[in-house]
Structure 1
Amino acid sequence: MSNKRKEFTLTELAEKYTFFEESDLYKFYQEVDKTYKGVENNNFCNKVLLSGVEDPVIITFLKSILRGLYPLLNNENFPIVNNINSQDKHCIYLKYWLYDQLIINNFHGYDIKIIFDFLEKHKNACIKAKSPEKSCVFYNLTLEDIDDIKNLYAYSELFYETKIKNFREISKDKKYLNYFKRGFDLYRRSKIKCLSARSKEFCKEFNDYKSIYEDYKKQSAFLSCQEHFLDTLYNEDTSSSEEALLKVGTPKETVDSDFYELLKKDDLLEKSHLSKFYESLNEGYGTHNDSSCTSLSEYSLKEKTTICELLGHVENILEKWDKIYTPHQELSSNKACDYMNYWFYDRLSHVDATMCDIEIFYFLWHKYARAKHPPKKTCYNKEYSGLSKKQLRNKKTLFDFLEYYDYIKDELNKDKNENQSDYCKYIKGIFQLYKDMERKNISHSYSEELKLFHMKFVPNDELHFLEEKCPDMCLEFVFNKKLKTLCPFEEKSLSEEQKEKLKACEHLKSSSDRGHIDEKYEKVFFFYNITNLTTYNIYKELNEEAKTDNSYSICERLIPFNDIHCGIYDLCIKVVRNLKKLSRMENKKRTDRCEFITHWVYDEIRKIPNIFSNNSYGTDAIREFFNAVYDILRKLDITNCFFNTININFDEQKEKKYLHDYFKNYNKIKNEIVCNNTECEKYCEYVTSINELYGKYINRCCYCFKFHGCKERYPDYFKCDDIYNPHNIFEKLKCNQIEKFRKGMVKVGKSNFADDHVLWLTDKYGKEEKTLLKLEKIDSSSTPEKICSEITCDPFYVAAIGAFGLMGFFLLFFILYKLTPLGSYFHNRGTRKKRNHFQKRYKTFLDDDVEFKHGNMKNRRMSLAYHQVRRPIE
């Protein structure tokens, strides 16, 4: 038996939580345990009943049970039965004790079956109760069933009998809290499962208990709130008991205090209907009438006075509902009722009431609204599902923000707003709250508010707007369900030591070659970054300076390298920012931006001092950099944008970037560039330089067919369509009219095609075939020479055909030999001859041996001998 089950026996639970010792179950358990451990007696029942059991351990256990079972069932020497509060639960308590003993004594499946078979077989004998009410039915349960039933009993009999103040003590140890929560879940699931599986032994046991459990109708009203409390213990507000609790009616802000101060700065507070309606509710709050508390007399409440006051204020507000609601004609009745419910969320979050107290409050609110007012002139409470004070505050905070968001948006749209940074920080906090609420919405406590948030930000372009107004706030990740937090990268301030280390490299010069490319290319391609080209603005965005006051923890690994390789840390920060933006893009836009980022990263790396070893990315700093980059990709769940980190040649990578950017700029240059002589000369110089790279890479990057286009091997930097040929732009810009380019530019074409040889063979043999067809039509009488084809006249072909024909014959014969009766015929031919010869000789031998049968033997004596018999001489 696993130690895990033994941890949850009643003795262990009582040692862990001493308040369980006050329960009826524990008292009953201890009394039965005394009898179980008492002196053995050899009565008649023991001798008769145990005659069919052979295992000595089981016999000993059953004797111990019989010692106390009979007197217990017949109320002999068991005063505890009459002293417990629940007279109809003694059988449940007995079973709980029995199940505990089965676990403590390490009984397994087969042993347990023997024990239950014994109890079932003799239930009408010595262990039969005299009174039918005290009969106890033992079902044949498996070990897993026993564990579940015992867990369920512990949840309902121990957890419910203790006071709510003890719940927090249980919640400190998640192992035990999970045990009771599992019992709660078992009860809910078993109610459904056992509707259709009544024949199972587990369901028989459960239904017996359920009928008793549901008899406590008055108690059941309180059990539901305890269930809710148990279901939300993980999310319970853990603030200290010294936290100041505001009393009902104490003047305070109607919205979150930080939000309240922020709204006051731009006079936004009074612009919303929410604030005005809250003020109306404050005015209609009034004083409560003691008569409203009479309905609480039948309920056991911890904070009866507080709940009485709240209930009285509900009655006051509903009595004046028309007066409160009428001035706000722009509000629908449902919206006004929502405001009232969230207003009470705020009140309830500041009172020292238990979850059960709050549930009774909502129950009586609903009862009063239904009884006193017509449906269209009242406000019903929202469904309460056991919310903690923290959950109530979270619901109201998110709701209030959504009501004010449009006014905040107007302020952010203004060109200059001194409070924009404060708004952005608050919005980031709200978005993080949304992520937390979404993650903890297991019991659907936050479903309504999450839906409202989703409706506000998903269908519209609100996120794009906020990204623009509040950059680097991670707001774009709010709906990414794979991220538990809003920001996938921990952001924190740099230490002074780290800041000094980053400053130390500011005047460092490169002490090694960064890699080189032809100076002609460098001069030309430096100019191509002109502002009106497509690539210029994208690279400008990618290369914008990142904030230096904060650090992403994922890039801190590069700070030790930054003193020698100055700029590598800043590049990592930029990569984080740019990949975050990439993660929000989709389809072609995402693919295009990935190509830009890839080429940009390699280009920026070459600018870092001392970074290259033999013109390749082989330093420790580069390896650590790309480790960080791939960690970033993994955290952002980017699976279609990769960096090659093995054997990368800088010269080639730079050329690839030039080609990539040319193709991206092509349409812009061809269709929109209008230049004078000086500018055109620079563009023409750019095109002629590109033409050289185009010719260098076209056959490497394109797998072409003469009549069926080309397959692009490397579409991230080269396009094979002839429309992108640099010669087209050269002609469009009329470069040959410029003196420097009078000689023109060689048009690069595809030097060979993948299907050239096939086309050549087809063309060659196609012509020869046509010639043969023509010769066949010539009359043989008019042709003195013998006309033959190359195949029939060439000795090699004749020999080859003969050899292949012979091989074909042998192959055919082999197949026939192996797979048809012909093979069997040839194989058995010699055997058959031998058998025929033997049969003939054997037949001859038999004929000779039985020749005497042909004579008349009536008057002769038979001589049984193996040699010839002579006749006697007459």
Structure 2
Amino acid sequence: MKENSDLKTYSVQECTKCCNTLNKEGTSEDNKIKSLCESFITYALNLYNDSKINSLSRSKYITYLNYWLNMELRNEKKTVKNFMHFLDHHLKEWSDEHTVYNELKDKLFDMDNDLYEEMNILHNLYNNYNNLDDAIKGRKSCEGHSENCAKFFNKGIDTYNKTKTSKFYKELANFWIKYNKIKSKKNECKDNKILDLIQGNSLIKYVENITSEKATHTCKAIKGYNINVFPQRIHRYENILEKLTAHAQYKKLDDASVDDSICAKYCEIPNSLEENEKKVNLLLAKHSTNLKTLSNILTDKSSDDHCSYLLYWTYDKMLRIFNKSTDITQYHSIINKLNDAMIKINIELESDKSCPYLIGRNINEWEKEKDMHDYFKNHQKISECTTENNGNCNQYCDYLNYINDLYMNYINVCCTCYTNPTSDCIYMCPNYFKCKKDYYPPDLIYKLGCPNTNTNPTKSADEVFANLIIDSDVIRKTNMPYLGTFTKLLSDPFNAIMLQGIASIGFTPLRSLMHKKKRQKNINTNNSHVEPRKKLIYNTESSQKKANNKRIRVAYHSTN
């Protein structure tokens, strides 16, 4: 990112107050964690408030931010879990810092040793590649930088022989291609020396052949799987929900056939997940097929509806496959695979057919979010029972009282309303919550003639929404312009890499979106109900530009 003089620089010094709740005479260890907190919050604020970064690009930065955080914490013999515990206790609730932290919270995790080693090698490869590129442009000595590239490339081959991670091997192949392109410029170096990398053409051919053959064979097998592979998960109001609008849309997604060519092109099918293998493979294949052909499956819905239905269909299938006793690393692995495929597919889709959200990691909230989402989709159908013969409206009463409890828990964090100069609400949870009085559950309960099971007096919709109102001037004045880049952090070469742009050009699976000429339509990536009352610039996007001269950056999820 180039510094823009029109944008406010947000530096690490301005973040000290949010991490400065420790005693002034804290231990050396406390001070190190506080310093890391300041850098982390500074990165996060700039990342989430830079209007030049769209939601898909942001996900690539987050991947690398998680690696950077793991690296810093490993140096202090701490874990990401420890650090998040620190932030939970030291960030002021409802502050901008707390808001951004909540957005990131379910995307950060402790990497296992193999994934960390792979990421570390890729970071060093591209760091030295950038140094080599600078040396060529400056007509300086290239040999030392090319020696480092060769050293880390050889280390990468050795690591692959240990981990057998197919995606990591492909990333090494991608690097080999890029390196050999720049190697042709060795005459521009002062010493005319750029070393060869080992494994050359045999590496590329092996990866292409093995990956293609394996993917095609596996995806053809998956095509024959029955939807009943997914375990049953009976909702307590299943007999009601199965007759309503949302269920019909989910059924269409269930019934859509797997396209083995889409599966082979976009999906990273795991080698084995023991008893869950068939279920996970079918989910990956169906999710990619459904996304690629979504407008043909849900033909009677808007593009936003398409995306939200696919999101909560996916959550439902994940909840069917896994349970609370499942190793959390399995969740992360499958979520990474789903998100990788989504990014690849969205890059190729037209803006009105793409779904640039990402699968979140806040698994404990998935079911409640889906229930809220489905209520808003089902509202019209339920309300029509009063005009139907033998409508049997009483069948909805228990369900609506359950929804009312959920609604009251979510509305304060999902809606911020204002009246100056006009009345409107900001949707903080746009995937699953609508901030309109028309959907107020007590009004529907009353319309259907249901008994009020709530012991507390029911407030009117006007009263509830009145409590959400703040002056629009407050929103405008408190929406701090944390935009642009910042000088002090860029003085550290490692930090500069992280901040200037992590996604590499053509570096799969998190490929730079700068090559994309058409604008991407944006959908909020957050899937957690814990949202701020302040409006932040989470989803502003700008036209994409070509990046022929952009630096190579690392962003990588390891999946076998």
TM-score by length of 2: 0.38
- Computing the radius of gyration from Cα coordinates, the structure with the larger value is 1
Q: When you count helix as a share of all residues, which structure comes out higher? A: 1
Higher relative contact order (CA 8 A, sep 6+): 2
TM-score by length of 1: 0.25
